[in-house]
Amino acid sequence: MVKSRSETRAHIVETAARLLGDDGAAALTIRAVAQAAGLQPPALYRFFEDKDALLDAVAEHVFTAYVAGKAVAEDGDPVEDLRAGWDAHLAFGLANAVLFGLLVTPGRTSPAAEAGLAVLRARVHRVAETGRLRVPESLAVDLIHAAGTGAVLTALARAPEHRDPGVADALFEAVLARIVTGAPVPPAAPAELAKLTGAERALLAEWLDRD
């Protein structure tokens, strides 16, 4: 059965992603990918300008699959859901160092990365809905995103045996202390609370949390 152009391109990207995961970045050559995909090397240039373009496509493919699995919990503690998202982000970055570097390149636009940010915004919004967010949602998202990116890049800068997981844990706790109050707003007077803005609920939560 003859594959369409889009099917052939997808096959190449999936093959390259598998090679990258199995053998590392050094194994990802045009010749190796073509051979593994059952194609002649010149055929790949009909789909990708060069190896960097192929890597970009692989990064988008792998991260899209990762984001698709990042479901936002509809119940349970939203702060713990934030923590789970943080842990998943670190695990992905450390397991996909080359791709992570591509995805966080300044100025690079990635639909998959934007989808990942949308998931983070949804998680932060759940915290805000409980009245536990002490800063605007946009600031909370930026702080978590910046800290998460920095935590992964800091870890990747060290050899695996010299990485201290406590650094990322401490960074997350510092961000959490900055953006989240210690206790949710009590469920009393829901009609009155419903009239408050997110910022007003966060301020009320901060007052209630004070000793």
Amino acid at 138: S
Tell me: do 166 and 97 sit in the same domain: yes
Other C-beta atoms lying within 10 Å of the C-beta of residue 201: 20
Instruction: Kindly give the confidence (pLDDT) of every residue in the chain, 211 residues in length, as a single tens digit, with 9 standing for 90 and above.
Output: 557 888 999 999 999 988 887 877 777 889 999 999 999 999 999 999 888 888 888 888 888 887 777 767 677 899 999 999 999 999 988 988 888 887 788 877 778 788 888 999 999 999 999 999 999 999 999 999 999 999 999 999 999 999 998 999 999 999 999 999 875 544 444 444 455 555 555 555 555 455 4
Domain coverage including residue 93: 73-209
Q: Is residue 54 part of a domain?
A: no
Tell me: do 40 and 132 sit in the same domain: no
The CATH number for 41's domain is 1.10.10
Would you say the pTM of this structure is higher than 0.75? no
Tell me: do 93 and 37 sit in the same domain: no
Burial class from Cβ neighbours inside 10 Å (0-12, 13-18, 19+) for residue 203 reads middle
189: its two tokens = 């007077």
Q: Is residue 183 part of a domain?
A: yes
Q: Under a CB-based contact definition with an 8 Å cutoff, are residues 31 and 41 in contact?
A: yes
